[in-house]
């Protein structure tokens, strides 16, 4: 008995690790773009909602909705914004802009990903550098947020940066070393912005 091959469902690739490229809305060469958007998170003054950052797609799809007031028992999500006026000169123009993001799948055969803080290279030549950048999170005096690796080739959301929105905020990260501590003052230097790398293998 013959089968109609046009009715067969293609089998999706089983390998190729997925990662988020924070700060850029395109994927590195050879990686597949799953979707792109903008970085969202909880407002810096709020003690609740999430502590993580999300790559929010440009075109959301809603299900059943009930309109509510701002304080009607909901978690709240805001657009993120770069706070880099005192960062390295190459990224200062990004101050107050909303950062973009992309969700990418690394090429077939790569099954593991790793974000390395304080390094802008991969552990060995077997690893592929997907992107390098700066370690960023919210300001230390505000609510906690996760540390993310933001691409050094920052691409802002078009039309942003003219006004200070102050939703979820991204600041450069630096170390406070302590003599005799795990983050040794011989290697780590107070006041230096920390780099990062996202690698796959």
In-domain check, residue 66 = no
Q: What is the pLDDT of residue 147?
A: 97
Q: What is the pLDDT of residue 48?
A: 81
Q: What is the pLDDT of residue 157?
A: 94
**Model pTM?**
0.86
Query: Among residues 36, 38, 57, 62, which one has the least CA distance to residue 159?
Result: 38
In-domain check, residue 43 = yes
Q: What is the pLDDT of residue 71?
A: 65
In-domain check, residue 159 = yes
In angstroms, rounded to a whole number, what is the distance separating the alpha carbons of residues 139 and 64?
Answer: 36
| Intervals of the chain under pLDDT 70 | 1-14, 70-71
Two tokens, residue 142: 């505000």
In-domain check, residue 8 = no
Domains: count for the chain? 1
Query: What does the pLDDT look like over 47-60, one tens digit per residue?
Result: 888 889 999 999 99
* DSSP strand pairing (54-57 vs 113-117): unpaired
In-domain check, residue 103 = yes
What is the extent of the structural domain holding 35? 18-58+75-200
In-domain check, residue 68 = no
Q: What is the pLDDT of residue 47?
A: 84
- Based on DSSP, count helices (H) and strands (E) in the chain, helices before strands: 0, 10
In-domain check, residue 7 = no
The answer to whether 194 touches 17, Cβ cutoff 8 Å, is: no
- 47, burial (CB in 10 Å: exposed 0-12, middle 13-18, buried 19+): exposed
In-domain check, residue 13 = no
């Amino acid at each position: 008995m013959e089968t109609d091959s046009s009715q067969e469902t293609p089998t999706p690739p089983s390998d190729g690790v997925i990662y988020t490229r924070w700060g850029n809305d395109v994927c590195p060469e050879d990686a597949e773009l799953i979707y792109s958007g903008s970085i969202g998170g909880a407002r810096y003054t709020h003690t609740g909602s999430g502590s993580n950052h999300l790559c929010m797609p440009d075109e959301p799809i809603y299900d059943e909705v009930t309109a509510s007031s701002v304080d009607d028992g909901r978690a709240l999500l805001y657009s993120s914004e770069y706070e880099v006026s005192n960062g390295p000169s190459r990224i200062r123009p990004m101050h107050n802009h909303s950062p973009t993001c992309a969700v990418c799948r690394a090429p077939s055969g790569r099954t593991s990903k790793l974000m390395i803080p304080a390094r802008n290279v991969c552990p060995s030549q077997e690893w592929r550098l997907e992107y390098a950048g700066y370690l960023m999170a919210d300001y230390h005096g505000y609510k906690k947020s996760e540390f993310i690796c933001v691409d050094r080739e920052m691409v802002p959301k078009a039309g942003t940066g003219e006004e200070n929105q102050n939703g979820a905020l991204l600041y450069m990260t630096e170390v406070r070393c302590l003599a005799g501590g795990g983050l040794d003052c011989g290697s780590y230097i107070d006041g230096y912005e920390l780099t990062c790398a996202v690698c796959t293998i």
